[in-house]
Structure 1
């Protein structure tokens, strides 16, 4: 067990608290698996989408792709139009862990790569996102994980002591980024592993 006292717990959101999969609506829009995989590899790519998480407006993002792929305009616009389908459900067990930590009066915040407008939608779809003390949304601050600056901003804004902070994220790069910022961090794979990781840091549920 870690000898460091954890005073602050920071949750990522996508793939930790809520499911995210762009294939959900596109399985209907582009039924052919090979064509759909090509579309995500060459048109609406991860690198394209992450810029909306950094703060780029959807209108600008769509215009860039439509100029390069005019024959794909409807499929490009569908990404934002059908975004709500991509966040199909909450991870009930993960949410229960977060709710238990809050009920124990532990200091819980969230740090997420999320476009500003879609995060507003997510809050309506998943009211538990309003339970923690606060959240840093990449699209609102113009910074994204794993950039060191976003961890430092979150620490400043919420008065966290980095050495006493535990971060939970499903991305290895984001976990490493948090550690570079002086935080403790664990890689989320499933709720049972999270429970054991919390226990290893002296946090009993």
Structure 2
């Protein structure tokens, strides 16, 4: 496939940054089964995404504590000990990003579902976040993937052409959201597979 791609957009969590609430809650609970129950029933992914979409951490925490007062300490830990959910950089994917940056053949952006309040902590920790030509953060924009308006913010702000753009995300739901507005998508499963898929698009990595 001849490359017509001039822009690559990366998701962050699960692609470049290893973030997982289990890193924290496996310390809090005595067994992994209890961690899984808690994350499926109390501090759920849907609840976390409300903060990613602009709800404040304090409001989100207070709302959940009001519903489940017996779990106050565990709920409060979610954002109070948030940095313990960061497992580090996914180095193999960071190396792909580094190669793309050094070759300077495509523009590089990040589009992330992330709270505006916790994202500065990631900026301080991960130097490679400075390699992007721009980063669009859901908590700042008050919307998130997979909603079309969130992708359009990046396209308009950075004058990006959808049909010349590849979006990489580990969540197929978010890829489908991008494809619905004409952006090409790659579902991330591993750095090796990503490297091959980029080459299939004619991109040198």
Given the two structures, how large is their TM-score scaled by the length of structure 1?
A: 0.97
Name stretches of at least 5 consecutive residues in structure 1 with no aligned partner. none
RMSD (Å), alpha carbons: 1.0
Other-structure match for 1:90? 89
Other-structure match for 1:103? 102
Other-structure match for 1:72? 71
Other-structure match for 2:117? 117
How big is each residue's C-alpha offset from its partner over 1:116-160, in whole Å with a ceiling of 9 and x where there is no partner?
Answer: 111110011111111111100000001110101111111001110
Cα deviation, residue 175, structure 1: 0.6
Aligned partners of 2:146 and 2:76: how far apart in 1? 28
Aligned partners of 1:183 and 1:146: how far apart in 2? 12
SS in 2 for 1:60: helix
Aligned partners of 1:61 and 1:21: how far apart in 2? 19
Other-structure match for 2:131? 131
Other-structure match for 2:204? 204
SS in 2 for 1:117: coil
Cα deviation, residue 68, structure 1: 1.1
Aligned pair count reads 204
Cα deviation, residue 69, structure 1: 1.0
Aligned partners of 2:46 and 2:22: how far apart in 1? 16
SS in 1 for 2:166: strand
Given the two structures, how large is their TM-score scaled by the length of structure 2?
A: 0.97
Structure 1 runs, 4 residues or longer, greater than 4 Å off: none
Name stretches of at least 5 consecutive residues in structure 2 with no aligned partner. none
Which structure 2 residues correspond to residues 39-50 of structure 1 after superposition, within 5 A?
39-50=38-49
Cα deviation, residue 28, structure 1: 1.0
Whether the 8 Å contact between 2:57 and 2:117 is mirrored in structure 1 is no
- Is the counterpart of residue 53 in structure 1 residue 52 in structure 2? yes
